[in-house]
Structure 1
Amino acid sequence: MKIKHLTATIAAALLLAVAGCAGGSDPLGNQSAAPSASGSQDQTPIVVGSANFTGSQVLGELYAQALKAKGLNASAKLNIGSREVYLKALEEGTISVVPEYTGNLLINYDKDTKAKTAEEVEQALTEALPEGFKLFTPSAAADQDVYVVTKAYADENGLASLADLKKISAGAVLGGPSELATRAYGPEGLEKIYGAKFKEFKPYDAPAVKARDLNDNKIQVATFFTTESVITENGYVQLADPESMILPQNVVPLVTDAVAGNAEAKAALDAVQAALTTEDLTAMIKRVDTDHDDPGQAAGDWLKEKGLA
């Protein structure tokens, strides 16, 4: 009787397994091929990174949330650090997407580039990228590095252009993020291209402190991003760059080869890139820096407004 009972139990279990397969379930519990609510089949993890400043964090949230909205297995790992740090993370595979800026990324790989226009920069960058990295579609939205001075200092010294800085640089202090010291458009570029050699370069990792010191004349010239509301809020004078030392910096997703081959991911990020404007990005950054909103909230509201989430 025990043998008959055991045989019947095994048979019943086999029937249940067959019925489960016929119903489309995965007896091994592997859900990677199952479509998501939005129909996506590819559930390979996509980790979106960002640099350690507000604009990049907002873009990182835009990308991660847009990917999630299409049912992809995306997450955000923000505020990683400077370009040197997050490119290493991309190379090592701890992140697979990061928002970048065309001109600055090109200079990172080719300091002697002759590219000047946005189109020339994009073409040169495509050729300069190392193996394993790809670009998706650049946006019309841009976030430029810019040198600024207070209006009072500009009026007092007749400053309107980077070419004017040679008049005051010997007795002036330049302030910027710590990595500016090694950038081609930093102190080295100012001296080489514009003949402006500053008395001192003072590094800042807190934009609010940098702005306070500029207002207090502890530094006389500073760099910010053109999308930062601190420029308009303080009435800073943005110095023209007649020699195009700072290349066009259009927003572009830099991705690994694995993500480059994901058609759904490309479509989701291309849609963000097509809809994004410099004005939109500036407004989202203002929400974070001035209104103290969360980058994820600012990004999520924009995506819903554009019908992308």
Structure 2
Amino acid sequence: MSTTTTGRRLGRLPLVGVAAAAAVLLAACGSGGSSSSAASSTAPSSANTSVPADAVAVTAMPGTIQLPAGTPGAGKPAIVIGDKNFPEEFVLGELYRQALAAKGYAVSIKSNIGGSELIDTALSSNQIEMYPEYLGEIVTSVAKENAPTSASATYRAAQQFEESQRQSTVLLQTPFQDVDTVIVPNAYAQQHGLSSVGDLTKVGPGGAGATIAGPVEFRTRETGFLGMQQQYGLTGMGYLPVQAGAQYTAIDQGTAQAADAFSTDYQLLSNKYTALTDPKGIFGFQYVAPVVRQSVVQAEGPEFTQTLNWVSSLLSTQAIQALNSAVQGHGAQPADVAAQFLAANGLNK
């Protein structure tokens, strides 16, 4: 996410121990490979975890990509990976780094670089040679273009920008996306028959019977509350500005009836909340893909790309939520969480 967005992910709940983190992590393992998935049983039933049809051609689909055998990276040029400045990115950076290292590539990581604009500068100035990015951020925050209206259009716009302006390329994107999501308590959704953002007009004219909790910046964004007002007619809905993480407290305590969350928030694993669909796509499309210098892709060989795509294919919504839960909710270290997840999915087998 962009610099203004990442602050919403920096809050952390009290630590409850590594053992609990490991238990949560087990729910994610096997979700993308040929082995059976434990994650599906813990997925929030209300969350939309499917990949849109127009994204399939550019998505690393679970179970379709095999990990290269041996250590094809031995003797290849060294690579520097970067990641952005919030916990989900730390996990992503470690997943890609550790997978490449296990395949013999000489790889190091520069972590906590900053938001989209800063990490793009690091790539452009050759401080790093690849990083995991949310593709909508490339289009809107870096290229300064309008948000595309589909997942595939977002991918194509990001790829075109990287190839023409950064001499880089975008590899296959993950099955999950981390995008703004409006959530309500399950009981509230059932009471009012809510399944989409537009349904909030049912609680009063223009949504006047409800208040949404979210960060200050979300209120004035066309990809946020402003867009909800314009595109869904929610002109009567109230707004409660809160800090990161406090939106869950607000709807739990009833000071707000809806909240702006992220689709990969680990709190959604609790099955307490209904994620409302966004049929007009006002929140954009934020699938993740490695952005890599074209010269690196050529120098490292096809197994390099295959390894990165294999990692991406494992990352369903349920998997990333469980990984986030281990790190953000239970205090585990991103490197440890990544190592356990990759091992469980066959990296060292």
- TM-score, L = length of structure 2: 0.65
Q: Could you tell me how far 1:252 is from its partner in structure 2? A: 0.8
1:272 to 306, 311, 318: 311
Is 2:104 the counterpart of 1:65?
A: no
1:161 to 196, 199, 206: 196
Please name the residue that 1:191 is paired with.
229
- Aligned pair in 2 of structure 1 residues 271, 179: CA closer, same or farther (>3 Å)? farther
- TM-score, L = length of structure 1: 0.72
d(CA) in 2 for partners of 1:253, 1:75? 15
Is 2:171 the counterpart of 1:136?
A: yes
- Is the contact between residue 136 and residue 260 of structure 1 (CA under 8 Å) also seen in structure 2? no
2:155 to 119, 122, 135: 122
| Alignment coverage as a number of residue pairs | 269
d(CA) in 1 for partners of 2:323, 2:286? 18
Give per-residue Cα distances to partners, 1:55-83, cap 9 Å, x unaligned. Answer: 32221110121222233332333344433
Larger-gyration structure (1/2): 1
- Aligned pair in 2 of structure 1 residues 65, 190: CA closer, same or farther (>3 Å)? same
Identity %: 29
Please name the residue that 2:111 is paired with.
78
d(CA) in 1 for partners of 2:106, 2:200? 49
Is 2:277 the counterpart of 1:240?
A: yes
Q: Aligned to 1:50, what secondary structure does the other structure show? A: coil
AA at the equivalent of 1:70? K
- Aligned pair in 2 of structure 1 residues 48, 82: CA closer, same or farther (>3 Å)? closer
d(CA) in 1 for partners of 2:160, 2:198? 31
Please name the residue that 1:307 is paired with.
346
2:265 to 210, 228, 233: 228
Larger mean CA deviation between 258-267 and 238-247 belongs to 258-267
AA at the equivalent of 1:186? G
- Is the contact between residue 198 and residue 232 of structure 2 (CA under 8 Å) also seen in structure 1? yes
- Is the contact between residue 175 and residue 201 of structure 1 (CA under 8 Å) also seen in structure 2? yes
Larger mean CA deviation between 261-270 and 232-241 belongs to 261-270
- Is the contact between residue 50 and residue 77 of structure 1 (CA under 8 Å) also seen in structure 2? no
- Is the contact between residue 115 and residue 124 of structure 1 (CA under 8 Å) also seen in structure 2? no
Identify unmatched segments of 5+ residues in structure 2: 1-70
Q: Aligned to 2:251, what secondary structure does the other structure show? A: helix
Q: Could you tell me how far 1:183 is from its partner in structure 2? A: 4.7
Q: Could you tell me how far 1:136 is from its partner in structure 2? A: 1.4
Q: Aligned to 1:159, what secondary structure does the other structure show? A: coil
AA at the equivalent of 2:212? L
**Higher RCO, 1 or 2 (CA under 8 Å, sep at least 6)?**
2
- Is the contact between residue 76 and residue 300 of structure 2 (CA under 8 Å) also seen in structure 1? no
Larger mean CA deviation between 127-136 and 298-307 belongs to 127-136
RMSD of aligned C-alpha atoms?
A: 3.1
Please name the residue that 1:55 is paired with.
88
Q: Could you tell me how far 1:192 is from its partner in structure 2? A: 2.1
Identify unmatched segments of 5+ residues in structure 1: 1-36
- Is the contact between residue 147 and residue 284 of structure 2 (CA under 8 Å) also seen in structure 1? no
d(CA) in 2 for partners of 1:97, 1:144? 22
Please name the residue that 1:32 is paired with.
none
Give per-residue Cα distances to partners, 1:165-205, cap 9 Å, x unaligned. Answer: 3446557543335654565421222122112245435253x
d(CA) in 2 for partners of 1:294, 1:90? 25
Q: Could you tell me how far 1:157 is from its partner in structure 2? A: 4.9
d(CA) in 2 for partners of 1:144, 1:272? 20
AA at the equivalent of 2:80? I
Q: Aligned to 1:222, what secondary structure does the other structure show? A: strand
Q: Could you tell me how far 1:303 is from its partner in structure 2? A: 1.5
Query: Counterparts of 1:28-47 in structure 2 under 5 Å?
Result: 40-47=74-81
- Aligned pair in 2 of structure 1 residues 180, 303: CA closer, same or farther (>3 Å)? same
- Is the contact between residue 51 and residue 86 of structure 1 (CA under 8 Å) also seen in structure 2? no
Give per-residue Cα distances to partners, 1:198-252, cap 9 Å, x unaligned. Answer: 5435253x32x33223312334322222232312316111112122223443321
